[in-house]
Amino acid sequence: MTSAGHSYSPATLQLHAGYTPGTPHNSVATPIYQTSAYQFASLEDAREMFALRKAGNIYSRNGTPTQAIFEKRLAALEGGGSAAAVGSGQAATTVASLALAGRGGHIVASSSLYGGTVDLFDDTFRDLGIDVTFVDPDDLAAWRDAVRPTTRLLFAETVANPIAQVLDIRAVADIAHDAGVPLVVDNTVGTPALIRVKDHGADIVVHSATKFIGGHGTSLGGAVIDLGTFDFAAEPERWPGLFEPHWRFGDVPLWEAFGREGAFTTLLKSKYIADLGPALSPFNAFQLLEGLETLDLRMARHTASALQVATFLDEHPGVRVVHHPGLATNRYHASAQRQYPKGIPSVFAFELAQPDDADAEESFAHAARFIDRLDVVKLVANIGDARTLVCHPASMTHNHMTPAQLAAAGITWATLRLSVGLEDPDDLVADLARALDETGAG
């Protein structure tokens, strides 16, 4: 490395030798752009990028080339216009909801949600002046009655964690649209391999990509996908972040600059993600892309194995009830068959058999005895892993919820959640059978 006859010292060479920014290497696999920042071609070029008048890489908190590929691929799978990737599923729900609700906004949400989402909505958002009304996801009248003039979104999970209630997406979407607001759905459990929620009326999708999209329990990540179906321009006064000129966007409304398919995710990236900092690392983006490449193959195995496991549990005397929509006796069976023809999602719950008068501590002790006897199935507070995982929601993932909230979500102290993985299903059945037989009926 020399310049005009000048030989550089080791201190300079160790920083610059052997690499020229922007040089193509024709790698067939997506490279990991493990850098915190990017070199600009000129100051003029930098000014245009910072003003959002030119696309490009500025700083890795805002995005990376590896992340951009992940966003485009996930948006394509969901049939969306654009996506914004973030550091976790919780961050995805947070930035999407904040951007829609704004100052003093109101959210109508399903009462059957992941415990962390309930904490976010019922605690942190209230601290920020955003009110949330929780409703029974099956009660369409409750959804409709909960809407206020300040409501800015309806929020639900496609298949609820952990009891596997199946949302009637079209019906709830119609209520949202009648109220002039978008339906935001968390499709973490369903994934676009099993359901394209755009086809059922949803407008915005959030994912914990940590789960099935990554698939191996190694990397956190999340994403928001704007499906391009909601017409924010019908009532622009409701969405000032998209329609009012703002100094940080060069005093040009985002809707005018980026249109229906790009304005919302640009708002997320340039304001909420940039300001709050929930960045997705380049390495995690790469890992999630690797998982995405086999999503449909893995989901086929997950769903088939889960139905086999659920059928076994449903027939075992040590189990009181199994909440799997693939079972003909499940109240959501017909809805699941209609909305999930490629397979029923593999996260579901069951309750151990025990005396009717068992209290919370007795139920917890019985669950602990069962879990301690498992070998293949692991006690982990996660879902969507290649491994089969079990957890006790009332004391783990949903432990901050009040007794009333647990009851509304269908969770008891006897409830156990399973996320069925990619092991041989016969081995899973054998492991569960042995643990059940050794534990007894409580």
Place of tokens 């009012």: 244
* pLDDT at residue 95 tops 80: yes
What counts of helices (H) and strands (E) characterise the chain?
Answer: 18, 14
SS3 9: coil
Q: What is the pLDDT of residues 267-319, one digit of tens each?
A: 999 999 999 999 999 999 999 999 999 999 999 999 999 999 999 999 999 99
Domain 295-439 class, CATH top level: alpha beta
Q: What is the pLDDT of residues 214-241, one digit of tens each?
A: 999 999 999 999 999 999 999 999 999 9
* pLDDT at residue 432 tops 80: yes
pLDDT at 441: 57
Residues 12, 18, 23, 29, CA torsion sign: negative
Q: Following DSSP, what letter does each residue of 392-441 receive, concatenated?
A: -GGGTTTTTS-HHHHHHTT--TTEEEEE--SS-HHHHHHHHHHHHHHHTT
Q: Following DSSP, what letter does each residue of 309-357 receive, concatenated?
A: HHHHHHH-TTEEEEE-TTSTTSTTHHHHHHH-TT---SEEEEEE---TT
* pLDDT at residue 87 tops 80: yes
Q: What is the pLDDT of residues 131-158, one digit of tens each?
A: 999 999 999 999 999 999 999 999 999 9
> pLDDT exceeding 70 applies to what percent of the chain?
97
* pLDDT at residue 21 tops 90: no
Of 29 and 178, the structure prediction assigns the larger pLDDT to 178
CATH of 43-291, picked from 3.10.620.30, 3.40.50.11890, 2.60.40.10, 3.40.640.10, is 3.40.640.10
Per-residue DSSP letter, 37 = B
pLDDT at 11: 75
Q: What is the pLDDT of residues 382-411, one digit of tens each?
A: 999 999 999 999 899 888 888 888 888 888
**Parts of the chain belonging to CATH 3.90.1150.10:** 295-439
**Parts of the chain belonging to CATH 3.40.640.10:** 43-291
* pLDDT at residue 440 tops 80: no
**pTM assigned to the model:** 0.93
* pLDDT at residue 13 tops 70: no
